[in-house]
Chain A
Amino acid sequence: MSQPIIISASPHVHSDRTSKKLMYDVVIALIPAFLVSLYVFGIGAFIVTAVAVISCLLFEYLIQKFLMKTTVTIGDGSALITGILLAFNLPSGLPIWMIIVGSLVAIGVAKLSFGGLGFNIFNPALVGRVFLLVSFPVQMTMWPTAVENNATIVDAVTGATTLGMIKEGLMFGDTMTTIGANLPSNLEMFLGLSGGSIGEMSGLALLLGGIYLLIRKVITWHIPVTILVTMAVMTGIFWVINPESYASPLIHILSGGALLGAFYMATDLVTSPMTKKGMIIFAIGIAVITVVIRLFGAYPEGISFAILIMNAFVPLINTYFKPRRFGSKIKSKIV
């Protein structure tokens, strides 16, 4: 034996899954949505994403190296994901300095001040996004029209999102029938030709990535499916009662950040519950808060707030929804 024998406790084998691989799977899953946004928004989408990613990585490096003086972990993929998800939640024309401020809040405040990866309570990208939304409401809701060469396809959208148009229309006393005439069709929304943040464009692309995550077992169906079903049921009830004042469930699911939130933001491993039961409670909470904000709140979209609010409940959910201990409920089934 050339080198000394290693003594360690069992198990002596390990699955080949690592947290790094999980993180890069999420990055891969986000590629289709990114390609769609490049097609729709052109170079603007690329600039926002690149700035967000670079500044997230850079802030993590600088803070860990000079402020916290710990091991630098920018290679683990988590800051990369934060950057991409932050960008995906921003309009494509946002000034670069605002993106940098958002990245600093996401990485510095929401992640590293809590202790870094695994210790943060709130989804960092969403904290960054919501910080920007409440600080710069005008710029954050200025949705650029699509690039020139695609203008003919998406000329229905001129500066507002689907949900924004509905909210505004309803506030001015229009009915859904009149508003609906100006809305993109469900198919257009599904393919990604409506307005909105960079990453929430195409339902199809987001679903493709979501299915990839499910197949790779990075996420389970519990959170996304529960969110979407609960949202559909809730908005469906209002829609059935009064279709003139409420948008259809399909519009609610395909528009705004519902799919992006359900598959990528709410499922964030660190900030979601650890049991299946807990995940379902968590997801129902997100869906209910989102729908309440969308239908009755001041903002047209509320899934970011909903996820952050439910993030705060995760420690509580983990405490009360535990897995059933083996043998704790004795079945008196003697054959």
Chain B
Amino acid sequence: MLKTFPKGGIHPPENKITSSKGIKRMVVPKVVNVPIAQHIGIPAEIIVDRKEKVEIGQVIAKSGGFVSSNIHSPVAGTVTKLDLIIDSSGYKKQCIVIRTDAKDPSNFEEIEEPLKMDIELEPKEILQRIADAGIVGLGGATFPSQVKLNVREGTTLDYLIINGVECEPYLTADHRLMLEKAEEIVVGIKILMKALHLKKAVIGIENNKKDAITLFKKVINKGDGIQVAALQVKYPQGGEKQLVRAILGREVPKNGLPLDVGVIVHNVGTIFAIYQAIQFNKPLIERVVTVTGKKLENPSNFWVKIGTPIKDLIAEVGGLPEGTRKLVNGGPMMGKAIKNTDVPVTKGTSGILVIAEEEASRGEAKNCIRCGECVYVCPMGLEPHLLMNLSEKGMYEKARAEDIMTCIECGSCSYVCPSHRPLLDYIRFGKNIVKKLENSKN
């Protein structure tokens, strides 16, 4: 029996059409737009000026507080302006616009460093380096990694879990990274184990990536203390709480963190970024992005510089096909629909999904027939139909009492609703208001 979480979950069509496409290096763009808010928390503070020359990997915006992250220049070039540009959130955000210096060779070097196994840094130095390198959770949540790793003295911590689940349909960025950089990822895991003084780590991979499971089993040595857990294919297994429950059988308490049950979870992409930061002092300036869609000419996976406009990626896969009606930053379940292709790739961009006419529109919302599907599929044990109703009617206090804030916004309820009701939309709306009410009380 493959492991999985017991309650709820769905299995949408996987559509992993790019899983056999190796990661290609994207052409260095002429201009990059680097937003200063690419992570959860306080935006970084810009420390460069207009017309200033910057080098590749140079800090251009400094961490703005405890929950924040450094931003580095992805290219060598000149800062042309500090501008407001619409990012994937749909809002105008402060961006540093850098024109790439076409003559600077550092922009075009493709150094493939050899595998470096020895970990020279001490735990404290490792954590400092992770903070300096601007590493955030690359699975999509973009939570600054150094904050997650900042474990208070006296906390019992016994497991590191590596999230290689990639349960979102279409996306294959993590899958490809695991296939191509397995040994590096294992070193990355050891780096974190050293930093956190951990003896045990588990890589969780869903069973639709059998090649990655086999590869990791081969690459890991017996004495490493690292295990591979093959998981049943089920969305949203990549959610931290679901993953911890699936692999270790531990249930993270309501409103709690995996840390409360002695676990830290990191995405494989983050682990690889950590490996590069520690072993080669490379800051986080590029990531793997899956550019995909059923109608695309040549959907692929790419190494992309942060700040690359999405239109460059689209051009690389053969342009937008006729009849495109929706562009999504991320996967189809949790990704954000974006307005145009000028939006830049950020640290949290795991994929770009191009959706055609047929699948772009939602069905017309009908009456709730009280079938209970949303209740069965909710991995958090909530009653989405009830929460939607309460949000719709403005009964926020009641919604809070019905645990609306524990919703992880996986969208399983909206996915299954046979009446096409906008369940998650109303739940999000309710959550926002409940949060505001709570803040105003404090």
> Chain A: residues with CB nearer than 8 A to chain B?
1-3, 5-15, 17-19, 21-22, 73, 76, 78, 116-119, 269-275, 322-331, 333-335
Contact = CB atoms under 8 A, between A and B. Distances in A.
A116 B326 CA distance: 34
Given A269-B370, A327-B256, 7 more contacts: A6-B360, A13-B12, A269-B371, A273-B372, A323-B382, A325-B380, A327-B241
Q: Which 8 A-B pairs have the closest CB atoms?
A: A11-B411, A274-B372, A118-B367, A327-B254, A19-B418, A269-B371, A13-B332, A326-B380
B361 interface: yes
A329 B245 CA distance: 13
Contacts of A14: 362-363, 414-415, 420
Nearest to A117: B367
A271 B368 CA distance: 12
Interface of A is mostly: loop
Contacts of B370: 118, 269-272, 274
B332 A334 contact: no
A325 B327 contact: no
B380 A11 contact: no
Given A10-B334, A269-B370, A274 B415 contact: no
Contact of A331 (B250, B320, B335, B338): B250
B415 A13 contact: yes
Contacts of B12: 13, 15
Interface of B: 7, 10, 12-13, 90, 156, 158, 169, 241, 245, 248-256, 261-262, 320, 322-328, 330, 332-340, 353, 355, 357, 359-363, 366-372, 375, 378-383, 385, 403, 406, 409, 411, 414-416, 418-420, 422, 424-425, 428
Contacts of A8: 326, 337, 362
Contact of A10 (B13, B248, B367, B411): B411
B340 A117 contact: no
A18 B337 CA distance: 24
A21 B363 CA distance: 13
Contact of B251 (A6, A116, A326): A326
A10 B333 contact: yes
Contacts of A117: 366-367, 369
A116 B368 CA distance: 10
B385 A274 contact: yes
A269 B325 CA distance: 35
B415 to A, nearest CB: 5
A6 B325 contact: yes
Contacts of A116: 367
B323 A5 contact: no
27 contacts: A5-B337, A5-B339, A6-B361, A9-B428, A10-B409, A10-B424, A11-B414, A13-B169, A14-B363, A17-B418, A19-B369, A22-B371, A117-B366, A117-B367, A269-B371, A274-B371, A274-B372, A323-B383, A325-B382, A327-B253, A327-B380, A328-B381, A330-B253, A331-B249, A331-B251, A333-B249, A335-B249
A270 B369 contact: yes
B326 A17 contact: no
A18 B409 CA distance: 22
B419 A19 contact: yes
Q: Give the residue among A9, A17, A73 with the most B Cβ atoms within 10 A.
A: A9
A324 B361 CA distance: 33
Q: Give the residue among A10, A269, A329 with the most B Cβ atoms within 10 A.
A: A10
Contact of B252 (A11, A12, A17, A327): A327
